Structure 1
């Protein structure tokens, strides 16, 4: 059986969808899985052995583009027996319909009657996003309840030779760190500063780690370059060479290799956090307004720090500080992060 997955658009969601692909291979051992995804996520799919092919989704997130969706679907006709649609939007269900895929499965979402013919309406019975994905691997009437649902954690394939090649590409920056063992920081976050751990707290953590003999690598997209520089320049001048700001300099494949090379990771709730979890790096995950009750890091090697209770708080820029940081993240003192990091590294060693 050939299965087409319409994948989510965000890196973190893409990582969690890997649990679905693993379960599909268990439920349908002879299936072939192709995943349609935005180009920026496709490097991750190449590192998931359960995926046969990554198909480019050329339509931007939020664009309706019905004619383009019709053409994409028409080009996929007679190739698949099942489609699974992970986004909840109406528009995401058009391509499998136009491809005339006989079995089209997904959650109810936006009024998708007819477009999906295996429509699931009990999404609230599965509180975690990864549970909602994995539940779609099961035929109707045979879906385990949430606490009995098997969850295979996401993972990404890496190899030492590729990591070495990536490090050689950045040898000028990395040479400044004098071959010290490295801790990675992922200080960026989508949708504003309220999800970000304060740069001055990151700098305090970095200062202590550099004093202990570590180097720091800062990861993120181009828009995270500024916060990376705020962290680096907050350090004493003699320590700044040991803090390497790679935000905006790596593509996603390079970021995966360089994160895999780190001793441990400290991260906000972000896509890179989920990548670090999939690479099984010792991980300290810092949560504030977002909630680990829905999208926790899927790793046995991760520790979550969150000082408030309850679910998601929808805020992009908080009034708690001039920089827009949320008080719940400001309250996470660097000493808390260092203690958890030391505990994780100690267990790994």
Structure 2
């Protein structure tokens, strides 16, 4: 069986989609699974052993371009896919499998995709509360699973593969201290500071960890560079020698390998949080207005800290520097306590 998946366009969503690939591979061991996604996803897909090939989606995230999608679909016909799974809910995301003449095209109904999907599922959000459950449900025939409670347990959570040699080489390439265990910080988040734990809290935690013999490495994209710089600037001169701001200085491939080398990770609700979970790193995940009720870190080694309930559609914080008060209220001492418990559990394992 040959399967085409139209994958998501966000790091966190792409990570959670691996649960679908793992489930499909478990159900159909001989299946060949290709995933079409933006080119930047390749470093993630290449570390998912269930994926045969990562196919580049050359069209922009918001571009309809029906003609281009038709040509792209036609170019895939010779691959003779038996099934397609469309994970985004947009109309345009279902066009390529339709034009590729894939016989069975499965996905949630989304933006009125009748015809484009001939196996369209109607989503009951109460029955399928987690995004990962919605992805996994598509691996089963329509009507077989009425709700998330019907799915085989435990779910096959995302699991990226990184070997020890890669970790050692990456740490050497970035001149990290071989004598100090690494604690990774992921201080960035989409949509600005409202989803970020304040930089001064990160700095307080970093100082405590450095004083205890760790080194702290900051990860993120180029737009997180300033947030990382603020954290470093808040440290003493002596502490700064053991804190590296690599936000914007690593490709995604390098960041994945370096996160795998971390003793533990502290992260906002972000794509890199899901990467850390998939790498099975002890993880403290900090939530504010966004909710772990829909996209929690999928790891038994993760601890979520959130002081409010429900989902708050907030793009701007309600306090100084744009931070959300619910994140300001998470004290560094609380995070340190949770982190130490995870580190202790890892020592005892």
TM-score, length basis structure 1: 0.96
CA deviation map 1:161-184 (0-9, x unaligned): 11222222212xx2xx46311100
What is residue 128 of structure 1 aligned with on the other side? 130
Q: Please say if 1:3 is aligned against 2:3.
A: yes
Partner residue of 1:235?
235
C-alpha separation in 2, matches of 1:200 and 1:221: 19
Question: Number of aligned pairs?
Answer: 343
Q: SS in structure 2 opposite 1:110?
A: coil
* Corresponding residue number in structure 2 for 1:72: 72
What are the Cα deviations for residues 295-334 of structure 1, in whole angstroms up to 9, with x where unaligned? Answer: 0000000000000011x2111111x222110000000000
Within 5 Å, give how 1:271-290 maps onto structure 2. Answer: 271-290=271-290
Deviation at residue 112 of structure 1 after TM alignment: 0.3
The alpha-carbon deviation at position 148 of structure 1 amounts to 3.1
Say whether the 8 Å CA contact 1:196–1:268 is kept in structure 2.
yes
Alignment of 1:87-98 (within 5 A): 87-98=88-99
Once structures 1 and 2 are overlaid, which stretch shifts more, 284-293 or 136-145?
136-145
Alignment pair present for 1:155 and 2:153 = no
Deviations 1:18-47 (A, max 9, x none): 000011012222211000010111110000
Q: Under a length normalisation based on structure 2, what TM-score does the superposition of the two structures give?
A: 0.96
**Cα distance in 1 for residues equivalent to 2:134 and 2:93:** 17
Runs of 4+ in 1 over 6 A off after TM superposition: none
CA contact (8 A) 1:107 1:123 kept: no
Counterpart residue number, 1:167? 171
Aligned to 1:291: 291
How far, CA to CA, are the matches of 1:236 and 1:144 in structure 2?
A: 56
Indicate how the Cα distance of structure 1 residues 178 and 16 shifts in structure 2: closer, same or farther if over 3 A, else same: closer
Corresponding residue for residue 24 of structure 2: 24
How far apart are residue 144 of structure 1 and its match?
A: 5.4
Structure 2: stretches of 5+ with no match in the other structure = none
SS in 2 for 1:217: strand
Counterpart position of 1:44: 44
Contact 1:186–1:267 (CA under 8 A) maintained in structure 2: yes
Partner Cα distance (1:166, 1:14) in 2: 23
For 1:315, the equivalent position in structure 2 comes to: 314
Deviates more, 1:148-157 or 1:104-113: 148-157
Partner of 2:345: 347
Unaligned residue ranges in structure 1 (runs of 5+): none
In the alignment, is the contact (CA less than 8 A) between 1:287 and 1:329 conserved in 2? yes
- Give the whole-Å Cα distance in 1 for the aligned partners of 2:178 and 2:256: 21
Q: Is the deviation greater in 134-143 or in 183-192?
A: 134-143
**Which piece of structure 1 moves more, 92-101 or 160-169?**
160-169
Q: Verify the 8 A CA contact 1:75 1:99 in the aligned structure 2.
A: yes
User: What SS does the aligned partner of 1:119 have?
Assistant: strand
CA distance in structure 2 between the aligned counterparts of 1:120 and 1:75, rounded to whole angstroms: 27
In 1, distance between residues paired with 2:337 and 2:150?
34
8 Å CA contact 1:27–1:138 kept in 2: the answer is no
Is the counterpart of residue 106 in structure 1 residue 107 in structure 2?
yes
Find the aligned partners of 1:140 and 1:109 in 2 and give their Cα distance.
Answer: 16
- 1:162-215 deviations in Å (ceiling 9; x for gaps): 1222222212xx2xx463111000000011110000000000000111111111
